[in-house]
Amino acid sequence: MKILSKQHVLRWVMIAVSFLIISLILWNTYRFFQKFKEEERIKMENFSQAQIELGKIIDLNGNISDFPLKIIQSNTTTPMIIENSEGSFQSKNIEQHSENNQEYLRKLSLKFSDENTPIEIIYEGKTLSTIYYGNSDLLNKLKYYPFTLVLIFLLFSGIVYFYYKSSKTASQNKLWTGMAKETAHQIGTPLSSLIGWTELLKKEAVNPSFITEIEKDIHRLETITERFSKIGAVPLLKSTNIVTATQESFDYLKSRSSNLISFKMNAPEGEVLVELNPELYSWTIENLVKNGIDAMKGEGHIELFIQTTDAMVLIDISDTGKGLSKKLFNRVFETGYTSKKRGWGLGLTLSKRIIEEYHKGKIKVLHSEVGEGTTLRISLKRL
């Protein structure tokens, strides 16, 4: 327990450190974006000042200095629109076909004013022009970078959540496995006693048919013990006549069910061999038949039909119960799903696991109609 506790603490420390690193990256990216935006602003202010200085130089001696021109010409990335005192627009670093489209430039200037505060060029108390500028391509790309990091953060959070959930599920599965094995062990003690008492009853003047039925129930308890002991372990498969294995489980349930339920089984004559674990397979048949009995509320008709193809064996189990809507065809196999007031919703889940994981077959709802009944199908490879 101490080792597990250390591992648990270490895992959460790693998760906390990872979250801290991602948070720092997000914060630094945001700071970098704001700093870059400030530098863009400074660049545009320098641009406006250069235009003022250029105007001064021209006014004084008619010559143009190289320095302000270089500042003006150096801006090749930031899109901008210059509105003169007469309301006419000129553009720089914007698509060529838009340069002379005054209406387009006017609308774009409004958009730029939302992105960044316009800069007025004032000379001798008079506003000569107004500069509207947008974000450069690099700044636009950086603008979406934090969202990408947030998405990564969310994905990472999801991975952590599912990791924690799977760890918790694995822990619960381990607990259930331990409980199942302990149950098998606990059943073993009274079972041995019952076998002894049965042998004593055989020596007394007891109706032999009673002894036979008691022995059937003892065999049933032995089967249940065997099933629980196999939980958590890889089951051993062996060549088995599926007709006989199915018939035994079907007949046992038939003999111990209400007379209001009629049972019918159709199967091919002769052996039909399949790689099976008989104990787990019989558990599946019992789960499906009992599921049908519950759906009929103790009155109706259960039919089991075995048919074969060259490669497959198909086992259909039909009931005349309340049926299912199509949207529930897959959901009925989910852990915890049940339509009964009392039930854990494990029967069909176990059946699916036994057939698909252990026997590499398929199980599905073949057909169902609300108020008419349901047919479940098991498909297994034939030897």
CB atoms within 10 A of CB 122: 13
pLDDT for 221: 77
pLDDT for 376: 94
pLDDT for 179: 60
The whole-chain average pLDDT of the chain stands at: 76
Q: Is 380 exposed, middle or buried (0-12, 13-18, 19+ CB in 10 A)?
A: buried
Dist CA 75 CA 92 (whole Å)? 9
Dist CA 315 CA 308 (whole Å)? 9
> By C-alpha distance, which of 283, 303, 300 is closest to 350?
283
pTM score, whole prediction: 0.49
Q: 248 Cβ partners below 8 Å, 6+ apart?
A: 282
Q: What is the pLDDT along the chain (383 residues), one digit of tens a residue?
A: 344 456 566 667 777 777 777 777 777 777 766 766 676 666 666 666 666 665 555 444 444 445 444 555 556 667 778 788 777 887 777 775 555 678 888 888 888 888 788 888 777 777 778 888 777 666 666 666 667 777 777 777 777 777 776 666 665 566 566 566 656 655 666 666 677 777 777 777 778 888 777 877 777 777 777 766 666 667 789 999 999 999 988 988 888 888 899 999 999 988 999 999 888 898 899 889 988 888 888 789 999 999 999 899 999 999 998 888 888 888 888 766 666 655 555 778 888 888 998 899 999 999 999 889 999 999 999 98
pLDDT for 3: 43
* Contact (Cβ atoms closer than 8 angstroms) between residue 377 and residue 315: yes
- Whole-angstrom CA distances from 5 to 1, 12, 16 are 6, 11, 17
pLDDT for 62: 47
* Contact (Cβ atoms closer than 8 angstroms) between residue 87 and residue 106: no
Dist CA 312 CA 272 (whole Å)? 10
CB atoms within 10 A of CB 92: 17
CA 142 to chain centre: 32
Q: For the chain, which domains are there?
A: 2-135 (no CATH), 234-381 (3.30.565.10)
pLDDT for 138: 66
According to DSSP, the residues that pair with 365 across neighbouring strands are 376
pLDDT for 175: 52
Dist CA 58 CA 51 (whole Å)? 11
* Contact (Cβ atoms closer than 8 angstroms) between residue 277 and residue 245: no
Which amino acid makes up residue 243? Answer: V
Dist CA 57 CA 72 (whole Å)? 14
According to DSSP, the residues that pair with 10 across neighbouring strands are none
Q: Reduced to 3 states, what is the DSSP secondary structure of residue 321? A: coil
Q: Reduced to 3 states, what is the DSSP secondary structure of residue 240? A: strand
pLDDT for 69: 47
- pLDDT, one tens digit per residue, over 254-265 is 888 888 999 999
pLDDT for 73: 55
- pLDDT, one tens digit per residue, over 9-32 is 666 777 777 777 777 777 777 776
CA 297 to chain centre: 35
Which amino acid makes up residue 82? Answer: I
pLDDT for 172: 59
E strand segments, 23-94? 80-84, 89-92
Dist CA 126 CA 359 (whole Å)? 89
According to DSSP, the residues that pair with 72 across neighbouring strands are none
